[in-house]
Every structure is written in C-alpha cells, then in structure tokens.
A and B are shown apart, each in its own frame.
Chain A
Amino acid sequence: MLGYEFMQRAFWAGGLIGVIGPVLGVFLMLRRQVLMADTLSHVSLAGVALGSFLKLNPALSGFAMAIVGALVIEQLRRVYRTYTEVPVAIIMTSGLALSVVLMSLNPNLSKSFSSYLFGSIVAVSDTQLRLIAVVAAVGIIFFVGLRRPLYNFAFDEETAAVSGMRVSLLSFLFAVFTGMMVAAAMPVVGVLLVSALIVLPASIALRMATGFLAAMGIAVVVGLSGVFSGLAASYYLNTPPGGTIALILLGFLIMAVIFQKLLRLQNRRLIQKINRNRSHKNYEEI
C-alpha cells in the first residue's frame, strides 16, 4: 500500500491533519463552535468552485475562501452575541448555495467535485500536500507558542480581556487558522466529513482527559489512529476515505463511552464493597 506515491501523500497529509485537526477541535468545542468546521468546509467548496469557474488554482481559491468565511463568521459572532449559532447557519447555507450555483454553470466540473465532497486519496496533489504541511507548521507554532493565552481564551474571554490579553487579535488569528485547517483537510476527508476529523477526537478527549494537556494528547492520539486506520481501510475496502475515517472515529467514541461507563460501574462496586466490609467490621466490633 505504501509503495504507491499517492498513498504516501495521503498518509503524510492525513498524519499532519490528524495532529493539528483534533487540537483545533478541542478549542472549537470549548468555544462552542463545533459547527464552524462544517460551515467552513462548505465555504471552501464554494471557493473551489469559484476557482474552477475563474480558471484559478481551485485548491488556493478554496483556501482563501475558507479564511474569508472564518473572518466573516467571527465578525457576525459579535453582532449576534446571544444567538452565536446564527452566523454559522447563515454562512453555511450561503457557501453551499454559492457552490451549487457555480457548479451548475460549469457542469464538466461536477465529477471532480465528488472527490471534494467525500474525500479521495488520489485527490491529494503535491500543491495540496505542501499547503497541508504549511498549515501544520503554522498550527504547531500557533498552538505551542500561544498555548497560555489560548488556555485563558478558551476558559473565559472576559477575564482574559480584563487581564490585558488582546482577545480580539487572538479571535482573529484563531478564525484565520480554523479556515486554513478546514481548507487543508478537505481533499483528504471531504467537505461533508471534515468536521468529523476535527470534532470526534476532541469529543473523546474531553470525555476522558483529567487535565488540559492530557486532553490535547488524547485528541491527537485518537485523531492519528483514526486517520491512519481509516486510510488503510479505505484503500483495501475501496471506500471513500472521509466516510471510513469518520466511521472509525465514531467507533472509537462509542468504545470510549462504553469503557467509561464500565469503569464507573466498577468504581461504584468497589466503593460499595469497601463500605460493606467497613460496616461488617463495625458490627463485629460491637
């Protein structure tokens, strides 16, 4: 499998996304913006369609459009403070509508768009791999370098702002990076499932982790495991990689929930046993 160049590219791309995507997902979940990734993938698709229509590089136009979409959502979030899901809905439908219209104007492109919708291993071109590598490098610098402000920012924006942090600037950078990440991940997992790769590992991590760093670590391990096993399964079963990765991650989530429930049950039984022994001992002493 790894003898093929396109598979090597897919594993490199998936590995890089599998590290950064889940970390981004943890922050998106904590900021209650889980649908942001889904929305931006639709916006990015509109960018790809626009690029094709205007004879530009579709990967780059999709990338640029996702960043613009993220910034517009961030701006609208300030307008709709009480209903923060409203901007997401507005931009998602706008992105999808624009994609559909642009695609209908150029019907020859429809076939290649299915690879964007559902992800395709062969869709990862050299340009896209380079873009993903750049995004991953930016992501590592962003999340490692700004880990302290990002923690305070995710915990509570108001206290962060009062303590002197430049919350607006960080929000802006966060939105830009989210757009970049979504656009980069799209060719591998597809428009419809890009948020699965970002959100599912994060939701497992938030269930299991005891601390903040642990949450990041678990999210990355789950993300990488899901991507690598999903890509391999997709190759052997000839299934779309996005769907395969998402199903595997979903399986991980179900296993995590069951494991946690069993662990709690075991702990409860242990406590009951200790209490029983204690009361038995007290009874014997009396």
Chain B
Amino acid sequence: MLLSSMRDVMFGYGDQAVVENLSLDIHSGQFVGISGPNGAAKSTLLKLMLGLIKPWSGSNVFKRVLEDGSRISVGYVPQQVASFNAGFPSKVIELVRSGRYGRLGLFKRFTSADHEIVERSLKEVGMWEYRHRRIGELSGGQKQRICVARALAQEPQVLILDEPTTGMDVASRTDLYRLLNDYVKYKGNTVIMVTHSLDEIGPYLDQVVRLERKGNEGWRCSVTNSCSARFGQEA
C-alpha cells in the first residue's frame, strides 16, 4: 500500500528554499531510512510528510485511513524531543502511559492489557527499572529511549523517528535497530527513521532516502531500494 506520496514538493524557511522538486513514495511494511548531511532538511522532510508544515508548492499525501475506514495509527518521535523541558513534572511510567491515551480516548480506563503494553514497551527499550524516576533526572539517551517507548506504547502501524539514537551508546543503538526491524518484519508495520548512522542501520533497511547537495543545483533526493547486499549502491 502506498503510504506517503510527495510530488514536486518545494518548501523553505523565510525566502530560502530547503526542499526543491522533491518526489518520493513510501510504501507500508517497509523499514525506511532517511539520511543526509546536516542542513539537508531531513527533519523538514518528515514534517512535510506528516503534514505538520505545508509545502510552498507540489502535492503531499499521507494516508491516514485504511480501505475499511479505520484510522492508521501513527507514532512520532521528533528530533530533540528528549531535550524537553527538564522540569516537566512526570514520572517515566506516566509519560509512557500517555502513549495509550489516543487509543483509550477521554474516559476509558486502563485495562490489564494496556498496563502490559506499557510494561512491554519500557522493557523493550530497557527502561523498565527507571519507571518511577522523574523524566527530568534521566540522561539524554535515556530520555530518547522513553520517548521511543511512549511511541511504541501507542502501538502505531506507522512509526516515524527523527534521529532517535542521539545520545545512545552503541549497545542501545543496536538493540533499537533490532527492535525496529522486528516491528517491521514480524508485525508488518512501517518504520521511517532519520539517521546519521547508515553504516550501522543499513543492513536492516528496505529503502534508503538520501538527501544530498548536487553542486549549485541545490539539494537532491535519491532513493535506493536496497537490501543489505545492495546497500550503498547509487540509485
């Protein structure tokens, strides 16, 4: 299923275009990596895709409803969300539980199944032992991990992460890649992730979107449909 389709999208800040003539298709059930140097508009691309910002021109469609009329659940972990207000008065478990709010609505009570999902999400990112800690007391990497757990607790069909490994050590990064890979391969979900660590995550990706500068022509987007063996080849 075609999940996201962008055609000739142009967007910028002020009068400076940072995305020009971008066309990109992303299908469901894939693990997609978005890569590129600093300032290549990777985060902007995600925000455009999600409709958080509107393009200057071009078309952008992100599927939010399935054929049967049910909504596609989307989880999002923005860049630097872990640098959230250190004084935000919340325990780790409270924050991760909030991932369930969208499914529970305003008044539905937490069931034992909901509690299990929250517990599983925290365990999957290795933060269960920290559940009663105040979120402001955690390190940068730990904050990132609980934000991922919060998104996982939402049980989204599409999980979008913007550099979620910032501040994480190598072991935590590897665990996260495996977790996300299982989320795609065994549960049939979609993961779209902005990353600087293509060398580490490459073997898991189904599709790589590279944003790169081509001389004076501005930024160019190239898409590599790759498996691990083909990874690194030009589009």
Which of A's residues lie within 8 Å of B, judged by CB? 26, 30, 145-146, 148-149, 151-152, 154-156, 158-159, 161-165, 205-207, 209-212, 214-215
The answer on a CB contact under 8 Å between B78 and A164 is: no
B81 partner residues in chain A, CB cutoff 8 A = 156, 159
* Distance from A218 Cβ to chain B, minimum over Cβ atoms (Å): 9
Cβ-closest chain B residue relative to A205: B89
The answer on a CB contact under 8 Å between A163 and B154 is: yes
Interface flag for B119 (CB, 8 Å)? no
The answer on a CB contact under 8 Å between A158 and B90 is: no
The answer on a CB contact under 8 Å between B160 and A162 is: yes
B94 partner residues in chain A, CB cutoff 8 A = 211-212
Question: A152 and B106 in contact (CB under 8 A), knowing A210-B89, A211-B89, A214-B89?
Answer: no
Taken together as a complex, chains A and B put the C-alpha atoms of A26 and B102 apart, in Å, by 22
Question: A158 and B101 in contact (CB under 8 A), knowing A206-B89, A211-B90?
Answer: no
* Interface bits B69-106 vs A (CB < 8 Å: 1, else 0): 00101111110010011011111001100100110111
Cβ-closest chain A residue relative to B90: A212
The answer on a CB contact under 8 Å between B52 and A162 is: yes
The answer on a CB contact under 8 Å between B98 and A155 is: yes
B52 partner residues in chain A, CB cutoff 8 A = 158, 161-162
Cβ-closest chain B residue relative to A148: B101
Chain B at the A interface: SS class: mixed
Interface flag for B201 (CB, 8 Å)? no
Interface flag for B134 (CB, 8 Å)? yes
Cβ-closest chain B residue relative to A207: B87
The answer on a CB contact under 8 Å between A165 and B89 is: no
Interface pairs (11), CB distance under 8 Å: A30-B88, A149-B101, A154-B88, A156-B78, A161-B52, A162-B52, A163-B73, A164-B64, A211-B89, A211-B91, A212-B91
Contact partner, A163, options B74, B88, B105, Cβ 8 Å:
B74
Taken together as a complex, chains A and B put the C-alpha atoms of A155 and B82 apart, in Å, by 11
Interface flag for B50 (CB, 8 Å)? yes
B151 partner residues in chain A, CB cutoff 8 A = 159
A211 partner residues in chain B, CB cutoff 8 A = 89-91, 94, 134
Question: A164 and B102 in contact (CB under 8 A), knowing A30-B85, A155-B90, A211-B90?
Answer: yes
The answer on a CB contact under 8 Å between A148 and B106 is: yes
Taken together as a complex, chains A and B put the C-alpha atoms of A154 and B84 apart, in Å, by 11
A209 partner residues in chain B, CB cutoff 8 A = 89
Contact partner, B88, options A155, A207, A214, Cβ 8 Å:
A155
Cβ-closest chain A residue relative to B75: A163
A159 partner residues in chain B, CB cutoff 8 A = 76-78, 81, 151
The answer on a CB contact under 8 Å between A148 and B104 is: yes
A152 partner residues in chain B, CB cutoff 8 A = 98, 101-102
Question: A158 and B106 in contact (CB under 8 A), knowing A163-B154, A211-B89, A214-B89?
Answer: no
The answer on a CB contact under 8 Å between A206 and B87 is: yes
